[in-house]
Amino acid sequence: MNRELLPVATAARTRAVLLDLVRPYRALALGGFAVMVVATSIGLLTQPLLGAVVDLVASGEPAAAITTPVLALVAVAVTQGGAMTLGLALVSRLGETVLARLRERFVDRAMRLPLEQVERAGSGDLTARVTGDVSLIAEAVRVALPEMARSGLAIVLTLGALAILDWRFLLAALIAVPVQWHTARWYVRNAGPLYARQRVAGGAQQQQLLDTIGGATTVRAFRLEADHTAKVAERSNTAVSLTLQGVNLVLRFYSRLHVAEYAGLAAVLVAGFLMVRSGAASIGTATAAALYFHSLFAPVNTALVLIDDAQSAGAALARLVGVIDQPEPPALDRPKAPQIEVSGLGHAYDEGRPVLHEVDLTIRAGERVALVGASGAGKTTLARLIAGIHRPSTGTIAVPGEVGMVTQDVHVFAGPLADDLRLARPDATDADLREALTRVDALTWAETLPEGLATVVGEGGHRLTATQIQQLALARLILADPPVAVLDEATAEAGSAGARVLEKAIETTVEGRTALIVAHRLTQAAATDRVVVMDGGRIVESGPHDELRSSGGRYASLWEAWSGVRTTSENPLE
């Protein structure tokens, strides 16, 4: 199967979706912005008030005269603090609410993506978007958004205040802008690719460590210690050297900003000198201008550093919107029939490489059929087509209704055990849950968990064995209660002892359902109504276990080879 990553939205589409998300909160957005403007503007009164103190002293006023501007400074500080609190709270409220709506829409759409599409993209793609991209945006909303709002407004309004002091101060200050502009562009151009490489290297290092540490027993058993130590060293060195490259880049970025700072500061001071000499400004005004400019350093640096965060958040947003924008997949439109009727079924994942040929199969209502064959025989493909995960290339499948499927892919949903089960039937009572667990022989261990069914399981919770996890999967199927059940090697991940427990659980799970069971342990096949043997994408034998066993065909020799008790001498494998 060729990789085909999930789509990424265009910049225009990303903007449109973002605007669409913000629209319901227009009032909040405007209110937050207005309060921030007020808060920042009040703060800008500080420098002129300090200038006023300087002027009062310069004009030889008595010391008591400065009390008034000082009291004003206190008032400014308190009001600014209050307004800033309100403004930041409003801005965060907007950002966080929009983020919540965004992630909800993403999850909603992700859950409805056709499995085929997700698998073509590789399961990592969707997971990376829901973890990496969402948290990147969340971090940007939590930290960068309020910072950006504060710094951005501080810069704009400070420049405005400089202009109010005298437009020539603004002109002098703007000398720094070309240098900053150029520096920021240079930084973003270099930082993006470098940080992308850093993330890749960090991921690779993490992966190697997980591989080496998680597989330490294997590494020791095969004497691969030197090999693995060298691999870890190489990846760690790569990560370290990329980090240091990043540090270098940031430091050079600051060096260039220092040039801008100096140029602007010198220009403002010279402008002050000229204007005081010509009488166009007081010393206090010149002081205020210099202090304004000096106070710009911090927000300018903050804003320029945030450009990078904003860029990565933008890219992450485009990846989320790419999924959100996916059209609702058309419903799988399959004919209904009282039993499963497969006719003329053929399938190819890649064009020209068919894996199923002209398969005809009828499974009567309530019948349990085992699919047996070598890997690559087409068992899983047939099971997945019947489960409705893929659309067949040719032929038709009629089913009596919903088809439930349990495969060897196991997952425990993080949270209380009862919540995990209720995913299958949200309105299930505790008694329903207990009954389902009883049927798969899991109630005993479930009740001995530290907090019974309320025990938190899954990632970060109580660890369950492979067998227990698969018992849960079967219990979910019982709760979902579909008329048709497809089980694809549901015992494969459990050891041999677990397999036996699961086989029994599968028997009770499929009771009263039409069932297709892909089996690799032949005892499991023996317990079904009918065994279907596949080879090379075709059905080659079909009949009850006992009948096939005594017919001397392919299944018979397979059974003998499997049980290790030979009754005939022919080679089962040819």
Partner 1 sequence: MRAVLWRAISGQRRDVVTGAVLGAAHQAGEVMVPVLIGVVIDQGVAAGDLPALARWLVVLAVVYVALSFSYRFGARAGERAAERAGHALRMELVERVLDARGGAEEGRLPGALTNTATEDAKRVGAVNMSVMLAFSALMGIVVAAVVLLRVSVPLGLVVLAGTPLLLFLGHLLSKPLEKASEDQQDRAAHASGVAADLVKGLRVLKGIGAETAAVARYRVTSGDSLAATLRAARAEALQTGLVVALTGVFIAVVALVGGRLAASGEITLGELVSAVGLALFLIGPLEVFAWVNAQFAMGRASAARIAEVLAAPHAIAAGTSPMPVPVRGSLRLRGVSHDTLKGVDLEVAPGEVLGVAAVDPADAISLLRCLGRTADPSSGTVELDGVALADLDPAALREVLLVADHDADLFEGTLRENVGGAHPEAMAAAGADEVAGELPGGIDGHVAERGQSLSGGQRQRVALARALAADRAVLVVHDPTTAVDAVTEARIASRLRDVRRDRTTILVTTSPALLAVADRVVLLDGGRITDAAPHADLVTRNAAYRTAVLA
Q: Which of residues 154-193 bind partner 1 (CB under 8 A)?
A: none
Tell me whether residue 17 or residue 253 sits nearer to partner 1 (CB atom).
Answer: 253
Contact status, residue 515 vs residue 495, Cβ threshold 8 Å: no
24 is a contact residue toward partner 1 (CB under 8 A): no
CB of residue 307 to partner 1, shortest distance in Å: 20
36 is a contact residue toward partner 1 (CB under 8 A): no
Tell me whether residue 11 or residue 230 sits nearer to partner 1 (CB atom).
Answer: 230
Tell me whether residue 394 or residue 523 sits nearer to partner 1 (CB atom).
Answer: 523
Nearest CA to 446 out of 470, 468, 466 is that of 468
The partner residues of 270 in beta bridges, in order of sequence, read none
CB of residue 293 to partner 1, shortest distance in Å: 9
Interacting stretch for partner 1, rule CB under 8 A, among 157-165, 181-189, 240-248, 441-449?
Answer: 240-248
The partner residues of 530 in beta bridges, in order of sequence, read 369
CB of residue 42 to partner 1, shortest distance in Å: 10
Q: Give DSSP secondary structure letters for 81-133.
A: HHHHHHHHHHHHHHHHHHHHHHHHHHHHHHHHS-HHHHHHH-HHHHHHIIIII
Selected from 5, 34, 58, 196, the binder of partner 1 by CB under 8 A is: 58
CB of residue 510 to partner 1, shortest distance in Å: 14
Selected from 11, 30, 34, 74, the binder of partner 1 by CB under 8 A is: 74
Tell me whether residue 224 or residue 362 sits nearer to partner 1 (CB atom).
Answer: 224
CB of residue 87 to partner 1, shortest distance in Å: 8
Tell me whether residue 306 or residue 387 sits nearer to partner 1 (CB atom).
Answer: 387
Non-local (6+) Cβ contacts of 320 within 8 A are 102, 103, 106, 129, 133, 134, 137
CB of residue 407 to partner 1, shortest distance in Å: 7
The rounded distance, in Å, linking the Cα atoms of 306 and 315 is 14
Task: Tell me 535's DSSP state.
Answer: E
CB of residue 275 to partner 1, shortest distance in Å: 9
CB of residue 362 to partner 1, shortest distance in Å: 23
Two structure tokens written together for 520:
């690799």
Residues 404-423 that bind partner 1 (CB under 8 A): 404-415, 419, 422-423
508 vs 227, 481, 528, CA distance in Å? 48, 12, 12
Residues 485-544 that bind partner 1 (CB under 8 A): 489, 492-497, 499-500, 520-523
The rounded distance, in Å, linking the Cα atoms of 151 and 303 is 6
The rounded distance, in Å, linking the Cα atoms of 65 and 63 is 5
Interacting stretch for partner 1, rule CB under 8 A, among 60-68, 156-164, 327-335, 537-545?
Answer: 60-68
CB of residue 305 to partner 1, shortest distance in Å: 14
500 vs 116, 167, 410, 434, CA distance in Å? 31, 86, 17, 22
Residues 77-106 that bind partner 1 (CB under 8 A): 77-78, 80-89, 92-93, 96-97, 100, 103-104, 106
Residue bearing tokens 């206190």: 74
CB of residue 190 to partner 1, shortest distance in Å: 16
The rounded distance, in Å, linking the Cα atoms of 326 and 323 is 5
Residues 420-439 that bind partner 1 (CB under 8 A): 422-426
Contact status, residue 410 vs residue 491, Cβ threshold 8 Å: no
Contact status, residue 295 vs residue 261, Cβ threshold 8 Å: no
Selected from 118, 175, 315, 337, the binder of partner 1 by CB under 8 A is: 118
Residue bearing tokens 């969707």: 126
In this structure, what are the phi and psi dihedrals at residue 495, rounded to the nearest 5 degrees? -65, -175
Tell me whether residue 479 or residue 506 sits nearer to partner 1 (CB atom).
Answer: 479
* Contact mark string toward partner 1, 364..393, x via CB under 8 A: --------xxxxxx---------x-x----
Nearest CA to 435 out of 508, 376, 380, 504 is that of 508
Residues 250-269 that bind partner 1 (CB under 8 A): 251-252, 254-255, 258-259, 261-262, 265-266, 269
The rounded distance, in Å, linking the Cα atoms of 155 and 529 is 78
Tell me whether residue 72 or residue 362 sits nearer to partner 1 (CB atom).
Answer: 72
Tell me whether residue 5 or residue 11 sits nearer to partner 1 (CB atom).
Answer: 5
Interacting stretch for partner 1, rule CB under 8 A, among 182-190, 227-235, 308-316, 435-443?
Answer: 227-235
How many Å is the Cα radius of gyration of the chain? 35
CB atoms within 10 A of CB 310: 15
CB of residue 393 to partner 1, shortest distance in Å: 20
Tell me whether residue 338 or residue 376 sits nearer to partner 1 (CB atom).
Answer: 376
